[in-house]
Amino acid sequence: MTRLFGWMVMSLLVAGGAAAKDLKIYFIDVEGGQCTLIVTPKGESLLVDTGWPGNDSRDAERIAKQAKKAGVKQIDWLLITHYHTDHVGGITTLMDKMKVVNLVSHGTNTETGKNAEQLSRQYEEAKSKLKELIVKPGDHIPLVGVDIEVITARGDIVNRPATLAKGAGDNALCGAATKKDHDPTENARSVGFLLKFGEFRFLDLADLTWNKETEVACPVNKVGKVDLYLTNHHGLWASNNPAMVHALESKAIIMNNGDKKGGDIPAIDSMRAAPGLKNFWQLHYSIKAGKDHNVEDPYIANLTSPGGFHFEVTAKTDGHFTIVNQRNKFTKSY
C-alpha cells in the first residue's frame, strides 16, 4: 500500500510538471469587447484589455473568476490595446477586484471628446498607482516564459519582418489588396503583438483596421505564418483584410464578437475561406450572420446572451495546441 501511494504521488507530480510546461490562453467573454488572459508556464500573467464597465461588474467578475481558476493571484502585466470603452472601460472595476502590477500602452489617448476624456481620466488614475511601459513597434513585452513582440502601436507598424515571424516575406496577395477610408480613431492606433512560445505563434492586433492591416502584410508579410489568430475588431468587415488574414495561413481563428456586435457576414465568409484554416471559432452566435454564415454550434462558446462561456487554449513548445469550448467541453487539437 505504501509503495502504491508513493507511485500515485509521483504520478501526480509528473502530471503537474507536464502541465506547468504549457502556455495557457483564455479568451474571456466580455460580450463583444476584448479580454484575453495569457498565463505562462512560470505562472506569470498578461491580461489584454478589461472589457466593459458597469453591468454590475460583470466583466471584472468574469476576469477574476477565470484568473482564480487558472491559479493567477495577480495580473503581472495589463496591456491596454487602445482607448475605447469595450477595451479599457473596465479598468477601474478590475483593479478593485484584482491586484495589477504593470500597465502597458501606446501612450496617451489620441481621441478627444467627452467619452475619450472620461476614458483617459480612468486610465490616468490607474496609471498613478502602477508602473507603466509605453511600447512602440519592435519592442518586446517582458513576460517570462514567452516572447511577445509589438507589431503595431499608435498608428505605427514594425518596419521590417518581425524577429519572431516564421515564413515572413513577399506577399502575393497584395496585388489584389484594396483600400478603405482613412480611420482616424484609436482602432488604427491599437497595440498589436505576435506571441512566440517555442514553435507556436499567436497573433492579436486588437481592433486594427483595414488600411493598417495592409501595412502589416504588404508588400511584405511582416508577421509570417501563425498558428492562431484572434480576429481584428470583433470580426467586423472594417478590418480582417484578406491580404493579411489569408497570408497568415492560421490553423485556427477565434472571433471575439458579441451576439449583436461584430461578426459581419463578409468578414466571416472571407476568414472561413482562408488558406490552411482548419476551424473557425466564435465567442458568440452572430445574430446578423444567421444560420447560413455562423459556424456549427460546437464551435460557438455562447449561443445566447447573456453569455459568460469562454475558450481555453493550451499550447506546447512543439507548436501543437488544443482549443476547448467551456460551454460544452468540445475540444479540437492542432
Predicted confidence (pLDDT) at residue 148 exceeds the cutoff of 50: yes
Residues in the chain: 334
Predicted confidence (pLDDT) at residue 41 exceeds the cutoff of 70: yes
What's residue 180's pLDDT?
97
For the chain, list the domains and their CATH numbers. 21-333 (3.60.15.10)
What's residue 20's pLDDT?
64
Which pLDDT tens digit goes with each residue over 102-129?
Answer: 999 999 999 999 999 999 999 999 999 9
Predicted confidence (pLDDT) at residue 9 exceeds the cutoff of 90: no
The beta-carbon contacts of 319-325 under 8 Å, at least 24 apart in sequence, are: 319/198, 319/199, 319/200, 319/227, 320/200, 321/200, 321/227, 321/228, 321/252, 323/252, 323/254, 323/279, 323/281, 325/281, 325/298, 325/299, 325/300, 325/301
Predicted confidence (pLDDT) at residue 12 exceeds the cutoff of 50: no
What's residue 317's pLDDT?
97
* Of 67, 134, 137, nearest in space to 107 by CA: 134
Mean pLDDT to the nearest integer, 257-274:
98
Predicted confidence (pLDDT) at residue 2 exceeds the cutoff of 90: no
Distance CA 39, CA 122 (A): 26
